Amino acid sequence: MRLLIVEDDAPLASGLRRILEAEGHAVDVTSRGEQAVLAAAQERFDLVILDIGLPQMDGFEVLRRLRAGSPEKNGPMPVLVLTARDAVDDRVRGLDLGADDYMVKPFAMPELTARVRALLRRSQAHGGPRIVHGPLALDTVARRAFLKNEPLERAAREWAVLEVLLGKVEKIVSKEAIIQAVAGWGDDLSPNAIEVYVSRLRSKLEPAGIKIRTVRGFGYMLEEFKGS
C-alpha cells in the first residue's frame, strides 16, 4: 500500500512514517497542502493521513480539492483527518467534505494504525485484500503472509517487493519500477538493495516451488506457479 502523510509537525510526521513503513507500506510525507493536491493528481495513493492545521492551504481545502477530482482516481481513496481542533463543527465539516475518519490530537499510535488498517480493509473490500499464488497467501490489509499455511517471516521491504511482483505474475518488472513502487520520496533505495530483497525472497519461496526469475538487463519476473 502507498500512503501519503500531510503533516507540518515534523516529529509527528517522522514518527508516523516510521511506524507505517514498519508495517510494510510505502510512505510519502509533505508538510504543504499544495504539494499534497499535486501529488494526489499525479500518483495513486491507497490512503491519505491529512492534518487540518496546515500553513497557507489548510486541510479542509486540501480535502475539498481531493474530493473534487476525478471520482475514479480520488473517490475510493480513504482520507484520515488529524486535527488539534476538538470542536464538533470542525469534525462535522471534515466529514461533510469527504473525510472517512477523524482523530483529535493527541492520539495513541496503536489506535491510529488500527484505524488505518480498518480504512484500507474497507477500501479493498470490493477488490479483495487476499492474494493467492500457489501455496503462498497474502492478506494485503492485515499485512500477513502464509506459505503452506504457515506464517511467513519477512521484512517490511521484502513484503513490498513481493506485493509488486505478485501484481504482475508472468510479467517483467524492472528494478526501477520496483523502487518507484516501494520507496517513499527521498528514500535512498538502490538497485543493489532490490537484488538483496529478491535474493532473500527466493531463499524463502523457492523451496515451496515459487520462482522469481532474473531477466538480465530488464528486471525480475514472478513465474506462474506450476506446482511441485
Name the CATH architecture for the domain at 130-222. Answer: Orthogonal Bundle (1.10)
Cell of 199: 535474493
Give per-residue pLDDT as tens, 197-213: 999 999 999 999 999 99
State mean pLDDT over 56-63. 94
Q: Where do the DSSP E strands lie in the chain?
A: 2-6, 26-30, 47-51, 79-83, 101-104, 130-133, 136-139, 144-147, 150-151, 212-215, 219-222
Predicted confidence band at 85 (pLDDT cuts at 50, 70, 90)?
confident
How much is the pLDDT for 128? 55
For CATH 3.40.50.2300, list the domain ranges present in the chain: 2-123
2-123, superfamily in CATH? Response regulator (3.40.50.2300)
**Residues spanned by CATH 1.10.10.10 within the chain?**
130-222
Residue 206, burial from CB neighbour count under 10 angstroms (0-12, 13-18, 19+): exposed
Q: pLDDT per residue over 110-119, tens digit each?
A: 999 989 988 8
Q: What is the mean pLDDT of residues 73-93?
A: 77
pTM of the model: 0.62
